[in-house]
Amino acid sequence: MWVLSLLLLIGVAFSGQVCRQYKNFYEDRQRGWFWKEVCVEEKKEEKKEEKPKETAKQEEKPKYKFLPTRVQIPWDILDRISPEDIQKIEQTARYIALMYPTRENILEHMRLIRWIREKSVKYAKLSEYYMRQDPILSYDKPPAVPMKDALLVYRERERKKVLDRFADKMGIVAVMRQDCFECPGMQQVLELAKKEWNWDYRIVYAENHPNLVQRLGTQNYPDIFLVVNEKGYPRFIRIGSGYMTLNQLEDSLFMTLYMEGYINDEKLVVY
């Protein structure tokens, strides 16, 4: 019995072990065949965790924004969209029409522009109409009339003083062309200004003075300049290009005098 018990204990002790040759038979013949087996602990190979295969790199997002090739305006809901979103729609439509200038894209964008313009004109007309109905908002309310008239009288009187003071130091030069359509009318305005302001003027034709025209940078005709005599040298300051009435010419002249620092009274300037 004790032998059986001993064998059981040995089996329990060496559970999880296997018996195999300790050495090769031919390397240890003196001990005999039956002594060539020993029990050694079987080493369990640890399974290496397989690393997940590297997933393919995600495709990089494109760095540039691609425009659609067709202008699409949501006409059915355009009246309910906020002005900010309408502005974005117009900008996108303009870019698409610019990059893909098909007939459909250009006409659709121009149709949107016309729709926006009509909205603006409608607002301008209705706002003016409603303001005239409201005595508080009206531009022509009675309390403002005497002040406005007084300002006009003051401006007319003081402008006359300025014109008289600079009559000997300043003049008007108009650059014209023989084939200019508006030039004869501008010459009549300058003749009238000479009588009322007591200022001299001179007409220079571009065909006869190409160097002066190039130096002044004239592109539109007539081109009107204020000429100031500074230490014996003429200084040319552009007043405006194109035809102007006498009142427009005077307003532009005084704006030029104010911007160039020849006068400091803001009441003489029409903004």
SS3 for the chain is CHHHHHHHHHHHHCCCEEEEECCCHHHCHHHCHHHCEEEEECCCCCCCCCCCCCCCCCCCCCCCCCCCCCCCCCHHHHHHCCHHHHHHHHHHHHHHHHHCCCHHHHHHHHHHHHHHHHHHHHHHHHHHHHHHHCCCCCCCCCCHHHHHHHHHHHHHHHHHHHHHHCCCCEEEEEEECCCCCCHHHHHHHHHHHHHHHCCCEEEEECCCCHHHHHHHCCCCCCEEEEEEEECCEEEEEEEEECCCCHHHHHHHHHHHHHHCCCCCCHHHCCC
**Which pLDDT does position 121 carry in this prediction?**
82
Among candidate residues 239, 227, 248, 235, the one with its CA nearest the CA of residue 168:
227
Q: Name the pairing type of β-strands 170-176 and 201-205.
A: parallel
C-alpha R_g of the chain: 49
**Bridge partners of 172?**
201, 226
Among candidate residues 222, 252, 258, the one with its CA nearest the CA of residue 239:
252
Within 10 Å of residue 136's Cβ, how many Cβ atoms? 6
The whole model's pTM is what?
Answer: 0.48
Among candidate residues 149, 123, 156, the one with its CA nearest the CA of residue 140:
149
User: Would you give per-residue pLDDT tens digits along the chain (271 residues)?
Assistant: 544 454 444 454 444 544 555 455 455 555 544 554 545 455 556 666 665 555 555 566 667 888 899 999 999 999 999 999 999 999 999 999 999 999 999 999 999 998 998 888 888 877 776 666 555 565 444 444 565 677 788 888 999 999 999 999 999 999 999 999 999 999 999 999 999 999 999 999 999 999 988 999 988 899 999 999 887 788 999 998 899 999 999 999 999 999 899 999 888 886 5
CA dist list (Å): 89 to 106, 113, 186: 14, 11, 45
**Which pLDDT does position 173 carry in this prediction?**
95
Within 10 Å of residue 255's Cβ, how many Cβ atoms? 17
**Which pLDDT does position 23 carry in this prediction?**
52
- Alpha-carbon span 110 to 58, nearest angstrom: 42
